[in-house]
Amino acid sequence: MTTDFDYTLPPAVRRISGSFRLVGWISFWTQVVLAAISSLVLMFALVNLGARSGQNSNPGTGVGLLLAALGLVAVYLSAFWAFRYTRLGRRLRSRDTAKRPSPKDALQTLRLGTVISMAGMLVTLFGSQALIGSLLGKALAQPQGGTVFVPGNVGQYVEAFDIFVVQANTNTLLAHFVSLAATLWLLRTVNRA
């Protein structure tokens, strides 16, 4: 349903406004779901790491978890920024032209969203490298061949839990990718207008 007000808006502003709202909501909910899953896994990992602190632990695991947690904080910040895109789309449809953001303000918001996504992706990639390096160290230290499992030092073996942490970090990377793709799509939409 359209109102007579919709016809007073320039078509480019109407298209940009709709794009900001739609892409903002898709980006927001995708990031929130991926971040919630990664948060649960990383909280479980931190508790598990604290319980295993007496055993031989790989130093790369702690650094990797710290960087993964920082990347996760960046995802939550990026999700908030995606929510701001929806609000910006709403303000673009305002009757009062003084309340409408200028194209410069919209571009500045998108540029900052790009920086947040890129910085978060970089930190998360460093976390991935540390976690995968830790897993590689464990895998290389494991006895090869037909060795019998020795129950005394479980921490030296690659466990399913270790792979679960890598999966959580991969979810965080995917959330950053979604945010970056959404922001670049919106930049393209604004620049085409």
Each residue's pLDDT tens digit, 107-117: 999 999 999 99
Kindly report the pTM of this predicted structure: 0.82
* Band of residue 146 on the pLDDT scale cut at 50, 70, 90: low
* Band of residue 170 on the pLDDT scale cut at 50, 70, 90: very high
* Band of residue 175 on the pLDDT scale cut at 50, 70, 90: very high
Separation of alpha carbons 70 and 176, rounded Å = 12
186 compared with 99, residue with greater pLDDT = 186
pLDDT tens digits, one per residue of 39-94? 998 888 777 766 665 555 565 677 888 899 999 999 999 999 999 999 999 998 88
Q: In 3D, which of 183, 164, 168 has the Cα closest to residue 71?
A: 168
Q: How far is CA 167 from CA 38, 51, 131, 172, in A?
A: 8, 21, 11, 9
What integer pLDDT is reported at residue 129 of this predicted model?
A: 92
Over range 101-129, report the average pLDDT.
Answer: 92
Separation of alpha carbons 80 and 116, rounded Å = 11
* Band of residue 95 on the pLDDT scale cut at 50, 70, 90: confident
Over range 19-43, report the average pLDDT.
Answer: 94
- pLDDT mean across residues, the chain: 84
DSSP 8-state class, residue 111: H
φ, ψ for residue 151, nearest 5 deg: -70, -10
What integer pLDDT is reported at residue 71 of this predicted model?
A: 94
